[in-house]
Structure formats: C-alpha cells, structure tokens
Structure 1
C-alpha cells in the first residue's frame, strides 16, 4: 500500500502533517518543523514526550512482567495504589485499577454509586464530556454526541453548568446565590424519577470549554448531594495528576468527593493507565461487575508510579501554578487589546480563552481558524466541543518552564496580530 492508500484505510480523517518525534513540550514533523504542544497530545502527556524517567521505568519493567492477571499482587500495582491513596483527598481509601480508559473509569464509578445507593439515575452537566462508551455518550452534556444513536442508556439528566460568563439563568455571580446548584433540586423533583444515584462532574470542564466553577459552588454541590443521599463523583481525567497545580482539582476546590476517576496524565508520557478512587461508602462492587483485560497493566503502572513520584513534589506543583499564572496574566493583557477575546479562565495549566464576534456571540468559526493557523506559528492548540465551541485551550505538558510559557504567549501574540487585526 502506498501512503495515500494507507490514509484512505484509516477510518477517521488525519492531518496531512506526519509527525516524527517528540521531546519534552515539543513535537516535530517529518519536515523538521517544531511545534510547542499546548494540547499535550490528547491532554495526556503530563510529563511531555518521552520523559526519560518514565521511559526508563517502562524499559526496566519490560525485563520483568509486562502484564499479569489482577488476581495476583505485583509491585507496580501495589505501588500505584499506595501512591494514589497518599496523594488524593483523605477520604478516598480504595483504588480500582482494573480499568483501561477514562470512559471505563467513569462508568465504573457510576456502577459503584448505583450499587452503594440502590438508586439508578445520574446527573451530568451541560457541555460535559464524561467519555466515549455508550453509557457515557448517553450522559454527555452535548446533543450532537447523542444524536446518531437510537438506543441510549436510560436514566440520566443534564443540568446547567456553572458557566458564569454566559449564565443559563441570566444571573450575576455577585447576587445569584449559586442558583445553578439550587435549581438541581428542581430537576431532581420534577425531571427525575426521584432515584438519583450520582452526580458526575468535571471540576473544570475539559472539552466543554474550560469552565471554572465560582467560589462556593463545589461546597454547595457537596452539601446538596449529602442532603439527597447522592454520590458525588469527580471526573478528573483531565484535571487530575497535577494539572491545576494540585494533585487533584478536588484539593484546589477544597472538597471531598465520594470518588475520583483518573487517567490521561497518570501515564506521564502516554502510557495507557486509569483508576477509580473511592471512599468506603462506594466500596464493595464485585470485581466481575467491572473488569477490563488491559486494566492493571504492569508496564503502564510502572509509568504511573514514576509520574506520581515526579508530579507530587511540591516544587513541581508550584511550577505548574507559576507558569499557569504567567500565561493567564499575558492572556488577560491580550484580551484588553483584542476584542475577539472575551473571557480568559483557568487554574494552573488548565487554561482556556473564549472568542466571540462583534455582537458578543460565540464564534466557533474564528476559533477553528485560529487553531488551524496556530501551527504555522509553531503552536498546537485544541478547540472546545470538537470544533463546535468557541474556546481555545492551553494545556501544555506540566514540565513547562517559564521561558516556554513566555514562548507560548509570544507565539500567540504573533498569531493574534496577524489573524485578529
């Protein structure tokens, strides 16, 4: 097969660019062009491309066992469980490692909540992603993801997200009293069967537009779940493993969920690994109810252990906060000069900025144009809602230096001067 025949045989469309190698925060194509990857591949390279410590750990594990049935103990899995418990909120004392993706981790956490509460329904937020399995697709906060499929998982409802910049209820944060939480009680009363098992929420929306909840939102949501006997699950597939400058976003927001799901960045430089962390209440789901062949993979666990040892260091997390604050500050300054940039939001290196047209309406066309044009300036950017949204996301590897943060912003300045002037 020639290259075009290979491209024609790939089920989904791919870029005309062919990538050759990666090093740290940079990706290189076969023509020798360098790109600073502000998407960390698919937001999963927390330690960048080919981190030497992660590569070394995986090579050393290759000399032993690559995979083992989860019925037996192993040092890599025992080590990953210990590290996850040590670095997560204090109430999370159980780790389920036999999942192989963020989608299967989220689905497992929901099963655990259903089993523990004896209830079935699940609440998610507008614009939420939550995963690609049929169950998770059914619970997506986007109609375009559910529309193609005639048979969807029943018993779920979506409620407005804490999107203060474009508040669903037309309120102002200073006076709203966090209406977006209060109204969830109405949804439970009138739109559910009264048997809600769980609320699953991304602490900061990933694909949905980098929406950061206002102060007090998480605490009020936690209180509502306690009052209603509902499990609160944090989908930290993107926000976890240092992305916010804390090991988990739950620690940034100072709230203890009943479960946290983690994947993506847990593998450091791309190892496929995921896990569910729970409190005692959600323990007890039989292993044969949620178990995947490639979960608990020892090679991936070796990468995860090295990643956790690096990311958990206070200086490492402080640098995430420092570089993130630098980028946020530069973007706020750019916002003053470019009217198309209407909102900047983020925590740590989980950053997004929103684009709008002259009348303030979301401008997805411009957003996609800038993402495409950015590669000519040496930047890789991703958009929100699979190209349907109006937010550009900046989530580079967490090893980013201040000089590299400045490089990102300087390249953005060049992009904006050419494309927004």
Structure 2
C-alpha cells in the first residue's frame, strides 16, 4: 500500500491509504493495478465515467484555442452550452445563468433570484436535505450535524419533514395520509416562518439524505402550494439532473415544472467543474455584481458540458439508463429477500439506495459504514447517506454502465453482504 502518512500530515482533510492512478469507464485503478467499480461516480459527478474519450477530446480541442475568457464576451463553448441547456430543460425554463462554480453557488443564486423576484426572505427546505456548503446553503441544508460547528449562519430558513414514507414523520400510511407531508407545509408557513417566504427548495430525490423518492403527487402538491401563495419553487437537481434518474431532469419524470432548476455534478460528464441555474424569463437580469464567480462558465468546462448534453441526448442513452437501473433494482430486491438486513431498495434510473436495518427494524448505521469500508476489498467504491451517519448505501454508477457491468457490480455487492453482514 502506498505510504500517505506524510501527506496526511499536510492535508486539511483526512484521506485513505489508497493511491489512485487512472480511471476508465466505470472503473478506478490504484497504483497497484487493482480495479474498483465506482458505485458513486466519484462524488456523483462522473455521469459519463472516467476519461470519456469524447469529453477528453472536447477539452483538449478547446484548450488549444482558449482556456478562459471573461463573461463580458461571447464564446462558442458557452453559447453552445446555453443553447443545449435550454433545449433539454422543461419548456418554461428559457434562461441560463452560468456564472456559478458549483452546486452550492448555484443553489445560493437561485435563492437570491427568488428573493429579488418576490421581495420576500424565507427559504423552506427539508429535514434531510443537502444543498451545499456555503454559509447560506449550510443553513438551508437539513441535519443538525451540518450546522453545529458554526456560531453564525444565515437566518430565515424553515426546515420541514421529508416525504419519507418508510419512516413517516407523521406516522401515517401512504395510502391514507392525503400527502400530509406536503399539506402541513402550510402550517409551517403560517406558524414557523416570518410570514415572508420567498421559495421552497427541494431535491426531487434526496441525495445525501437517504435516496428518498417522494410518493406520487408530492411534488405536484408543492407546485400547487407555491402557486397559491406566490412562492417560488426551486428544484435542486445538482445530483438528479443530466440523466441520473433516467430522464434529463427529475422534473421530467415527475411531470412538474419548477420555476428554477439548479444543476451541476453530472453536467461535467467526466469531471469538468460546471454548474448552471435554469429559470423562466421573469427571473433573468440579476446583475453580475450580485452573483457572479470568476470560474463560472469556464470555457474548458463549458466545452465538456456541451458535449455531455449532446451525448446524454442521444436517442438510446436515457433508455439504457432506465433499463440498467431497473435491472440493478431487480437484482437488489432479490437480495432483500435473502438478507434480512436489506430493508428497502428504492430509486429512479441509476440513483438507487439500499436501506439497511437491524433485527428490530432500526437503522443499521454501523453496518452501513462497515460495508462501505469493506467494499474496497471486493472491488467496490461505496458511499453512505448523511456523511456516514445514515443507513443507506448509495448505488450511483456512471450512466454508461452496461447490463454486464451491472451484473458484476451486483455480484460483488451480494458477496460483500453475504460475508460481512451476517
């Protein structure tokens, strides 16, 4: 194993002893030549896997011409990316803000737009949400552990229960609850907010929070509540966007049109740093002095993102994501029949979660962490929910994964569970 002890003394963050060398498709290779199936697509941002040849070519060709230019000027990569984003977005979203450098700044920009548009202040988000790590998006995100170290965070955020049917906050049943998780948001607005709510920000499928897929009608109910109260509805599609759910955006799957979509991660294809805010025309015009970042809309990233959208838009691409995702779900649900610790398998497309519990049905957090650590010995890179505090393994391989590769992933995962979870 490569000796990283000296590096660990120098780095601000903790790293493992694994030294990685190169990647190809769904595989990451260490310096010893061992191959690992990346079930997390790095940080869920390698939608086209490692070193996709078309993405590498697009970046190289652009690097020969121009690496960066101020957004004062037009450039072909940025113009092409804007055109493609508008073409694949829900039809009400016709404006693109690219001067953001990641999902956190995209989400923060969306809130600013909503505040300017409505003249209001408050933001409503979900208990288990994760919207970023700036001060504002840290305050917006759910989970007390995210906010605990910071004495000063942005006020005006109201957190409400998730649409988590498996562990319903209201102790209801999905078939009889009347979508109480949505309807009770009215009570939070009336009694827990300042009375000045600018926007509701929601991940259509939770990312870090446990891969929670909302019940039918939930997002449509949010749309109705926002319409009735003049509140802006923002979909944080940083993780769900660009094909991850088997549709270009999760909004397409749920057939709900938000006022704003934020996207990043998978937009870069093979790791280019790029993000965007997609809005209707009424939200355009927020000046650069209010929300603009130096490396937002970088030309190398724009070239990679434009090519990514072209690839994901090809006729068979998203159909393959849905087919392979359904195949993995069938395999994992078969595992749930054989291993009592596998309590639930849920997801859309290739955004899949495996919820693990103990014999009493309680979250098996320690087991989840153990399986993620042990996965490396079985050639699997696994990540867990809630930054290691949750009980859900996240299965989100690159969208280019084949049926044969999916079977290998599932075979390795079942061997892991059979050996380590008994």
Correspondence 1:78-93 to 2 at 5 A = 78-93=79-94
1:84-138 deviations in whole A, cap 9, x for unaligned? Answer: 0000100000000010010000000000000000101000001101001011001
How far did 1:262 drift? Answer: 0.6
2:337 matched residue in structure 1? 336
Paired residues in the alignment total 420
How far did 1:206 drift? Answer: 0.4
Instruction: Work out the CA distance in 1 between the residues paired with 2:83 and 2:289.
Output: 23
Instruction: Work out the CA distance in 1 between the residues paired with 2:347 and 2:126.
Output: 18
Which segments of 5 or more consecutive residues in structure 2 lack a partner in the other structure?
A: none
How far did 1:6 drift? Answer: 2.3
Instruction: Work out the CA distance in 2 between the residues paired with 1:416 and 1:209.
Output: 19
How far did 1:304 drift? Answer: 0.3
Matched, 1:209 2:210: yes
How far did 1:280 drift? Answer: 1.8
1:280-320 deviations in whole A, cap 9, x for unaligned? Answer: 23222222100001011001000001100001122000000
Instruction: Work out the CA distance in 2 between the residues paired with 1:269 and 1:76.
Output: 17
TM-score by length of 2: 0.99
How far did 1:3 drift? Answer: 4.8
Instruction: Work out the CA distance in 2 between the residues paired with 1:204 and 1:226.
Output: 21
- Does the aligned pair in 1 maintain the 2:100–2:296 contact within 8 Å? yes
SS of residue matched to 2:198: strand
**C-alpha root-mean-square deviation of aligned residues, in Å?**
0.8
1:265 matched residue in structure 2? 266
Correspondence 1:165-314 to 2 at 5 A = 165-314=166-315
Matched, 1:417 2:418: yes
SS of residue matched to 2:289: helix
Instruction: Work out the CA distance in 2 between the residues paired with 1:399 and 1:13.
Output: 30
SS of residue matched to 2:105: helix
SS of residue matched to 2:329: helix
SS of residue matched to 1:173: coil
TM-score by length of 1: 0.99
How far did 1:4 drift? Answer: 2.8
How far did 1:139 drift? Answer: 1.0
1:195-249 deviations in whole A, cap 9, x for unaligned? Answer: 0000000000000000000111111110000001100000000000000111000
1:403 matched residue in structure 2? 404
Instruction: Work out the CA distance in 2 between the residues paired with 1:295 and 1:226.
Output: 31
Instruction: Work out the CA distance in 1 between the residues paired with 2:52 and 2:193.
Output: 47
